[in-house]
Amino acid sequence: GRVLYFVSFLFIVCGPAFVKYFLLDKTTVLRALIIPNGLKELAKTNDVFYPLFLHGLYTAIGPWLVAELTTGHIGVVFLHGLYLKGKWIPEPTVYAYGLFQNLLFQLPSTVYLASYLGQKKSETTSYSNGVSKSNHALKDEHKWGICWRICMNFMLLITFILQLYGSLSFWQAYGFMAFVFSPVKTWSLFLLIFLVRKVRKIVAS
């Protein structure tokens, strides 16, 4: 679980950061690596990139939740283990939860946000190039746009539901405190809503 988590962390969390800090000004390299326009736009949009990146980073280093883990004792759960009764207790199984967090929240969130920003870039490029399209091409593009929006919004809905389920699972297992003081699960729901609204506002502008 630990190895798989760190592999997912490198690609899903650090990947966009690598593009931002090392590849954005290297057009030839970006083309050679076939980096999607959406990912490049995400890396350029600081208001979206940094909250998403810091959330992924927080998952690796910050506390996941604060709760009454055993009767009368409040503990703190981290990716690497938990702190309870004044002692540090390694818990390797948490890495599996970290892997699922990256695959089921960080990755689809990145894909959704990057896709929307990439759509904005594509529309701007077509307009600036003065591209004229036939009615048939416009109809096909409209149909594709509808299908794309349905797929993206469905993925977003599933991502939100799974994250909410994880948050409620903490509540059921450890009580209401675990639900409230859970940055990785409960708080990330508000982060996702904020980022989606932010991206849609950017695309609509």
What integer pLDDT is reported at residue 144 of this predicted model?
72
Distance in angstroms (rounded) separating the CA atoms of residues 69 and 119: 45
What integer pLDDT is reported at residue 196 of this predicted model?
96
Q: Which helix (H) or strand (E) holds 90?
A: strand 87-90
Main-chain phi, psi angles of 99, to 5 degrees: -60, -45
Distance in angstroms (rounded) separating the CA atoms of residues 116 and 202: 9
pLDDT digits (tens, 9 = 90+) for 127-155: 445 545 556 555 655 667 788 889 999 99
Q: Which residues of the chain have pLDDT under 50?
A: 125-128, 131
What integer pLDDT is reported at residue 148 of this predicted model?
85
What integer pLDDT is reported at residue 69 of this predicted model?
92
pTM of the model: 0.87
What integer pLDDT is reported at residue 65 of this predicted model?
94
Is 53 exposed, middle or buried (CB count within 10 Å of its CB: 0-12, 13-18, 19+)? buried
Domain ranges of the chain: 1-65+92-204
pLDDT digits (tens, 9 = 90+) for 95-135: 999 999 999 999 999 999 999 898 765 555 444 455 455 56
What integer pLDDT is reported at residue 127 of this predicted model?
43
Give which of 85, 82, 81 is closest to 71, Cα–Cα: 85
